[in-house]
Amino acid sequence: MPAVQETVERVRRIDVDQYRYGFETLIESDKAPKGLTEDTVRFISAKKNEPAWMLEWRLEAFRRWLTMTEPQWARVHYPKIDYQDLYYYAAPKPKKQVGSLDEIDPEILKTYEKLGIPLREVEVLEGVVRPEGERKIAVDAVFDSVSVATTFQKELKQAGVIFMPISEAIREHPELVKKYLGSVVPTSDNFFATLNSAVFSDGSFVYVPPGVRCPMELSTYFRINERNTGQFERTLIIADKGSYVSYLEGCTAPQRDENQLHAAVVELVALDDAEIKYSTVQNWYPGNSEGVGGIYNFVTKRGDCRGNNSKISWTQVETGSAITWKYPSCILRGDNSRGEFYSIAISNGHQQVDSGTKMIHLGKNTTSRIISKGIAAGVSQNTYRGLVTAHRKATGARNYTACDSLLIGDKCGAHTVPYVEAKNSSATFEHEATTSKISEDVLFYCVQRGLSQEEAVGLVVNGFVKDVLQQLPMEFAVEAQKLISISLEGSVG
């Protein structure tokens, strides 16, 4: 059944300007000179007081980057990015030496409060603002290029968990960083990852020692504030033998007319019997209803199940960004390792999403599962692109993939581009994909029972994405559910 006239009208009137995190924080900041040269790389490295080996590593990546060309294969269109017209480093100017949380610029604290991110751990600990039953979450807040606060450091230290900005880890735990940095996403991996390797400014570093179950959820909150700034964060998570960690990531940015670049790299390493659960709620500014502004999100995320019986699970809710180019992947190297990918990608207005995953089966009896739900509304384009491959020695590899797309309105597009490669006869791969619109019958049924049209759509959509939402940690699931309803507001009749 074609969309009813009312739906069409509403889609036309769609208003992406409902972005709730679009405010700007007015603080002074310290920036690297515009443009990208070896000097920029040296500047960033010097700002971070990095050891010589790190600078060398960055420079090598930078030289490699100069020889690379921007990939064109994704189904996203954008004007050519002028990499010389960007700031590669921006840090809030410290008013004084920051010793404790109280000394952080109150403007920044206010920003995070507005975003609903609790940085004041004392209050949280005392239960003043903590609703009953809420779990504790340690937060690393990254403001533009630097990490401004990491909470619960002490408690984590007791458990032996290292959770700190990566710039600090480079100085304090060089042996760990040296061993693992770039071991999952090599500096030469792809255009954006190489760029990131050269100019990354901050991000989180997590190390969970053998046999430790991380006592709380770890979380990073990324915020782009500065104008014309690229944000290049680098996250490295290592779960040593038999450990477990759950990590959450959230992102927002102010509303601006120009496009901003975000090119992050996330590396996960799971050793024998370890498990990493990585959840993302990505809500960068998507641009306005005319498609002006918004974040260009070019992210390389990869997990390496290096040990036997290890497990890596990616869960993502993608509602923001003008352009999303992101394929969280799992390399299933260890025998009996398991990779999971749960994704909800919602595009509205002029957003373009090209996202999916790669499951690379190398070890024996490895299993993977992909559940992807794409929802396209407005005039957006939403593409699932995924690879499942079993190598010669991956006996007993198993994969199940389900990617469903939901179209809301007749101006948007939903695409599926799966690659299924089996080089081993005992590999069992199943892939299914469907595309449909919300059934008018179902909507009619809901409306007849007293729901408004919008509530009815919300209900159907929530049912559609339920499989993925269930994978999110509780706090995130609530946030994600809200986000989904915000993203689709005004897009349905």
Using CB under 8 A, list all residues that contact other proteins.
1-3, 72-73, 392, 395, 405, 407-437
Q: How far is the CB of 430 from other proteins (least distance, A)?
A: 5
Helix, strand and coil percent figures for the chain, each rounded to 5:
25, 35, 40
Instruction: Compare residues 428 and 485 and give the one whose CB is closer to other proteins.
Output: 428
Q: Taking a C-beta distance cutoff of 8 angstroms, is the pair 139, 149 a contact? A: yes
Instruction: Compare residues 63 and 431 and give the one whose CB is closer to other proteins.
Output: 431
Per-residue buried b or exposed e for 229-244, using 16+ beta carbons within 10 Å of the residue's own CB: bbbbbbbbbbbbbbbb
Instruction: Compare residues 85 and 421 and give the one whose CB is closer to other proteins.
Output: 421
Instruction: Compare residues 58 and 373 and give the one whose CB is closer to other proteins.
Output: 373
Distance CA 134, CA 127 (A): 9
Question: Tokens in use for 468?
Answer: 């993925």
Q: Taking a C-beta distance cutoff of 8 angstroms, is the pair 366, 400 a contact? A: no
Distance CA 208, CA 182 (A): 18
3-state secondary structure (DSSP) of residue 461: helix
C-alpha gyration radius of the chain = 22
Q: How far is the CB of 175 from other proteins (least distance, A)?
A: 40
Instruction: Compare residues 153 and 424 and give the one whose CB is closer to other proteins.
Output: 424
Instruction: Compare residues 72 and 100 and give the one whose CB is closer to other proteins.
Output: 72
Distance CA 156, CA 121 (A): 13
Q: How many Å from the N-terminal Cα to the C-terminal Cα in the chain?
A: 14
Closest CA to 358 of 189, 108, 157: 189
Q: How far is the CB of 375 from other proteins (least distance, A)?
A: 12
Distance CA 108, CA 307 (A): 40
Instruction: Compare residues 68 and 101 and give the one whose CB is closer to other proteins.
Output: 68
Q: How far is the CB of 426 from other proteins (least distance, A)?
A: 6
Per-residue 3-state assignment (H helix, E strand, C coil) for 122-169: HHHHHCCCCCCCCCCEEEEEEECCEEEEECCHHHHHHHCCEEEEHHHH
Q: How far is the CB of 420 from other proteins (least distance, A)?
A: 4
Q: How far is the CB of 11 from other proteins (least distance, A)?
A: 10
Q: How far is the CB of 206 from other proteins (least distance, A)?
A: 36
Residue 123 has a CB neighbour count (10 Å cut-off) of: 12
Q: How far is the CB of 75 from other proteins (least distance, A)?
A: 9
Using alpha carbons, list the distances in angstroms from residue 287 to 116, 322, 327, 439.
22, 6, 22, 29
Instruction: Compare residues 53 and 419 and give the one whose CB is closer to other proteins.
Output: 419
Q: How far is the CB of 368 from other proteins (least distance, A)?
A: 13
Instruction: Compare residues 73 and 449 and give the one whose CB is closer to other proteins.
Output: 73
Classify residue 463 as exposed, middle or buried by CB count within 10 Å of its CB (0-12, 13-18, 19+). Answer: exposed
